[in-house]
Each structure stands twice: as C-alpha cells, then as structure tokens.
Structure 1
Amino acid sequence: MKTACFENIPKYILIMLFASSTFGIYAQDNASKEGDFWSHIRFGGGFGASFGSDYTDVSVAPGALYEFNDYFGLGVGVQGSFVKVKGNYADSDLNNYKSWIYGGSLIGLFNPFEAVQLSAELEEVRVNSTFTFPSAPDITRNFWNSALYLGAGYNTGDVTIGVRYNVLFERDKSVYSDPFMPFVRVYF
C-alpha cells in the first residue's frame, strides 16, 4: 500500500527533494567551517572627547557587526559617556552639571547600492544626571531613555557618514535635544 503512494509521485519531484536536502546539508557544512563565521564579523564604533574651560565630555561606543552578505548586516554595541560642566556664572542659576550615560544598542544595516546605507538602530541607555544650584537643592534625574533611529548615509566601505532620526523622540523625556542626529559610523 505504501509503495502505491510513491508510484503516483513523479520521479523528478523526488530528485528535486533529494537535491535540495543535499544542498542544505552542504550549506550547513560550509557554515560550520572554522573561520567562516569570523570572516563576516567587523568591529568598530566611535570615540569622542571634548574639553574646555570648566567643561568635559568623553564618550566611548564600541560595536560589532555581522555581515550576512553585501547588502545586510546586524550588529550590537555598547556605549558610555561622561559630561561635567562647572558653572559659577553670575547670569545663571545653574552652578554645576554632571551626567553619566551608559547602555547598548542593536543595529540593522541595509546597503541597497554600494554608496548608500540605510539603518535601523534600537538604543537603550541609562541616564544619571545631577544639576547643582547655588541657592536651591540639587536635582537628580535617573531614567532609562529608549530611541529607535532610522538613518541614511553615504557609505565608503569602512566609513559611513549620514543622519538618523529618532522616531520615539519626546522633547520633555529625552536625553537628546533633537530627534535628528548626524553620525559617523566606522567598521573594519
């Protein structure tokens, strides 16, 4: 009875099924070879520092990206920054400001053309800031800030320069002052 079932199936369908299962096994074997995974990984990120009279701003943001092919990539990153402003200005109520920001992000990249890179990046950072006033109690703000950036940039291979937009931006609830943010992205 079982063989009668198989007699009704054309032979070329069986050959196609066998060929596709063999191809799948072969593809998995290639992916498991040592070094193949790491040949798709690129490392990069950013570093920034700004110093001035009574002003310090330092940020570090390393990341890793897995390139599936010439068009798609997916990555993760961590970031941290420290900002400190000393006031003592006669025309300002603010005396000092200090902030620690740290967190992580997931990024997806799409290169529809060689010089164009589109991105979607989900960022979650913890913000710890203290405002010091000469004649009032200090104000401490500690909160999580979520951002979903959609971006576009000019890609030169290892470096992409562009702008991104935070679609979750809320003026009173964001660590950043504007939903648009320029970026320079570097992966080697």
Structure 2
Amino acid sequence: MKKIISFCLVFASMFAFSQIGISQTGSSNRWTYGGGLGVGFGSNSSFNIGVSPRVGYRLTEDFEAGLMGNFTYQTSNYYNSTMFGIGPFANYYFARNFYLGSTFQQYFVNYNIKQDNGYKFSTDESALYLGGGYMTRIGNGSYFQIGLMYNVLWKENKSIFSSGLMPSVGFVVGL
C-alpha cells in the first residue's frame, strides 16, 4: 500500500500548476485561479488521473489566501482508489523570488483491493503542509516555481502517505 501512496505522491508532485491572478499594474481584480491536471501510466495496467483546482484572493500585494481541492483516481490489475481533498491555503511572496506557504487538506480515500474478493475500505486523514520555495521569472508576470512542503501532522505507520514531504513544481501567472 505504501508503494501505491508513494507513487501517488511522486505523481502529484509532478503536476504543473497554472495560476491566474492580478497583475502588477494595479488591477482591482484580486482573485486568483489555477490548478493542475495530471495523467500517469505504469506497470500492471496502472492508470491514474488527478485534478487540483484552486481559487484565491489577494489580501495584499504579497499575501493571498484561498481554497483548493484535489481529486485523484487510480486503477491497476490489483486495486482501484479515489482520493478527494479540500481545504484552505495561504501564500506569502517576498523579494519576487521566494514564497512561504501553508495548506490544510482533509483527504477522503476509498480503496477497492481486487485480489481480496473486492475488499473495500474507506479512510480519511488531515494534512497541514508548511514550506516554501523559489520562483524565477519566465515572462511578463509569469514565474516558474519550485518548492518543498512538509506535513506537520504526518506520523509514520499511521498515515496513508509514505512520507510527510511533498515536493512542488509549477507555474504562476499574474503575480
């Protein structure tokens, strides 16, 4: 099971995020929108797809808060699962090249183990990710973003995830 969750985390970390926000020209639109989409294939006829939308509001020029969610579906010869998560986030941007972030997610997971006569079970887990990263400008108001978050609520052998670390890679437009 931990291999499956590890694969899911690596897959999820490879999502490219695109965010649309207010520009530096003083636009009065303070809403930001974005998200990610990912598809993966692997051995044992495995397939997964994930969607992670987000909406935020710029409280100041450097601070935004909002709500984000995610949905992941996975299947293989041995199992299938769905995972849904939702919760608030906050990001603080400084020096136009760095950011600090926090995200709380409540995950709801349903598993169907095909080998055990269709054994099904559900679980849920809370995660509080804290971290930050580096941004580099790639165009007019667009940034490439790379960072690392850590789930401070993660406990070994008591979590659906194999690690508390979550790398992130993405693009931000409109900061």
Query: Which residue in 2 is equivalent to 1:172?
Result: 157
Amino acid across the alignment from 1:182: P
Q: 2:68: which partner in 1?
A: 77
8 A contact 1:117–1:160 mirrored in 2: no
Deviations 1:62-92, CA, capped at 9 Å, x for gaps: 1112112232110111210001121xxxxxx
Structure with the larger RCO, 1 or 2 (CA within 8 Å, 6+ apart): 2
The structure with the largest helix share of the pair is 1
What is the aligned length? 141
State which of 91, 99, 108 in structure 2 corresponds to 1:109: 91
* Residue of structure 2 aligned with 1:153, choices 111, 130, 133: 133
Structure 1 distance, partners of 2:143, 2:110, is 33
1:139 aligns with 2:116: no
Q: Who is 1:50 aligned against?
A: 40
User: Residue 168 of structure 2 aligns with which residue?
Assistant: 183
Corresponding residue number in structure 2 for 1:21: none
Q: Supply the RMSD in Å over aligned alpha carbons.
A: 1.8
How far, CA to CA, are the matches of 1:187 and 1:114 in structure 2? 12
For residues 171 and 130 of structure 1, the distance between their equivalents in structure 2, rounded to whole angstroms, comes to: 23
Alignment partners' CA distance in 2, 1:108 and 1:75: 7
CA distance in 2, matches of 1:119, 1:43: 16
Quote the Cα distance in structure 2 between the aligned partners of 1:151 and 1:168.
13
User: Partner amino acid for 1:51?
Assistant: F
Q: Are the equivalent residues in 2 in contact too, given 1:121–1:149 (CA < 8 A)? A: yes
The 8 Å contact of residues 43 and 187 in structure 1, kept in 2 or not, is answered as: no
Higher strand share: 2
Structure having the higher Rg: 1
**Of 95, 105, 109, the match for 1:127:** 109
Q: Distance in 2 between matches of 1:181 and 1:175?
A: 14
**Normalising to structure 1: TM-score of the pair?**
0.68
How many angstroms does 1:131 deviate by?
Answer: 1.7
1:146 alignment partner AA? S
| Shift of residue 187, structure 1, vs aligned partner | 4.1
1:6-36 per-position Cα deviation (integer Å, ceiling 9, x unaligned): xxxxxxxxxxxxxxxxxxxxxxxxxxxxx83
Gaps of 5+ in 1: 1-34, 87-95
The Cα of 1:155 is off from its aligned counterpart by: 2.0
Name the counterpart of 1:25.
none
**Does the CA contact (< 8 Å) of 1:158 and 1:186 recur in 2?**
yes
In structure 2, how many angstroms separate the alpha carbons of the residues matched to 1:45 and 1:155?
A: 17
Quote the Cα distance in structure 1 between the aligned partners of 2:157 and 2:122: 14
Q: Tell me, what secondary structure is at the counterpart of 2:60?
A: coil
Segments of 5+ residues of structure 2 without an aligned counterpart are: 1-26, 137-141
**TM-score where L is the length of structure 2:** 0.73
